[in-house]
Amino acid sequence: MPILFFANKNDAKETMSSVKVSQMLGLEKIMDKPWHICPANTTTGEGLSEGVEWLTSRIKNQLESK
């Protein structure tokens, strides 16, 4: 099952990049599942649809390959 992470508060001045967040969480160690980190701002909705589209696409691909 694919894993989607949202790096929220993308609008804040001191926000870490999504790359830095993924490094801090050690996401590159997840080798057995597809994962994606998406910068987001839940107040404005920025990044949410992109993340959901990525997740939907991965799930659809998995179902089609079975």
Cα 26 to Cα 2, 12, 17: the distances in Å are 16, 23, 14
Mean pLDDT of 37-56: 92
Assign 18 a pLDDT band (cuts: 50, 70, 90). Answer: confident
Is residue 1 exposed (0-12), middle (13-18) or buried (19+ Cβ within 10 Å)? Answer: exposed
Q: Is the pLDDT of residue 66 over 80?
A: no
User: Left (φ > 0), alpha (ψ -120 to 50) or beta: where does 45 sit?
Assistant: left
Residue 4, pLDDT score? 96
Residue 12, pLDDT score? 75
- Within 8 A by CB and 6+ apart from 28, the residues are 22
User: For the whole model, what pTM was predicted?
Assistant: 0.80
Mean pLDDT of 44-66: 92
Regarding the domain delimited by 3-64, which CATH topology (the fold level of the hierarchy) does it fall under?
Rossmann fold (3.40.50)
